[in-house]
Amino acid sequence: MTEMVFGTVPMRAGEPVLPRWWRTIDKWTMSCILLLFGVGLLLGLASSPPLAARNGLAPFHYVERQAFFGSVALMAMFLTSMMSPDLVRRLGVMGFFAAFVALALLPVLGTDFGKGAVRWYSFGFASVQPSEFLKPGFIVLAAWLMAANQEVGGPPGKAFSFAIAVVVVGFLAMQPDFGQAALILFSWGVMYFVAGAPILLLIGMAGLTIFGGTVAYHNSEHFARRIDGFLSPDLDPRTQLGYATNAIREGGFFGVGVGEGQVKQSLPDAHTDFIIAVAAEEYGLLLVLAIIMIYAAIVVRSLFRLMKERDPFIRLAGTGLACMFGVQALINMGVAVRLLPAKGMTLPFVSYGGSSLIAGGIAVGMLLAFTRTRPQGEIGDILMRKGR
What is the full per-residue pLDDT of the chain (388 aa) written as tens digits? 334 344 444 445 567 888 899 999 999 999 999 999 999 999 988 888 888 888 888 888 899 999 999 999 999 999 999 999 999 999 999 999 999 999 999 988 888 776 767 888 888 777 889 999 999 999 999 999 999 988 877 788 888 999 999 999 989 988 888 889 889 999 999 999 898 877 777 777 777 777 777 877 777 676 677 676 666 666 666 677 777 888 888 888 888 887 777 777 777 777 888 888 889 999 999 999 999 999 999 999 999 999 988 899 999 999 999 999 999 999 999 888 888 877 778 899 999 888 899 999 999 999 999 999 877 655 555 455 545 5
pLDDT at res. 157: 87
pLDDT at res. 366: 97
Inside any domain, residue 23: yes
Q: What pTM does this model have?
A: 0.87
What SS3 string covers the chain?
A: CHHHHHCCCCCCCCCCHHHHHHHHCCHHHHHHHHHHHHHHHHHHHHHCHHHHHHCCCCCCHHHHHHHHHHHHHHHHHHHHHCCCHHHHHHHHHHHHHHHHHHHHCHHHHCECCCCCCCCEEECCCCEECHHHHHHHHHHHHHHHHHHHHCCCCCCCHHHHHHHHHHHHHHHHHHCCCHHHHHHHHHHHHHHHHHCCCCHHHHHHHHHHHHHHHHHHHHHCHHHHHHHHHHHCCCCCCCCHHHHHHHHHHHHCCCCCCCCCCCHHHHCCCCCCCCHHHHHHHHHCHHHHHHHHHHHHHHHHHHHHHHHCCCCHHHHHHHHHHHHHHHHHHHHHHHHHCCCCCCCCCCCCCCCCCHHHHHHHHHHHHHHHHHCCCCCCCCHHHHHHHHHC
Inside any domain, residue 380: no
Inside any domain, residue 284: yes
Inside any domain, residue 11: no
Inside any domain, residue 3: no
Inside any domain, residue 387: no
Inside any domain, residue 362: yes
Structural domain of residue 281, as residue ranges? 17-371
pLDDT at res. 257: 81
Inside any domain, residue 205: yes
Please count the structural domains in the chain: 1
pLDDT at res. 8: 42
pLDDT at res. 1: 37
pLDDT at res. 240: 73
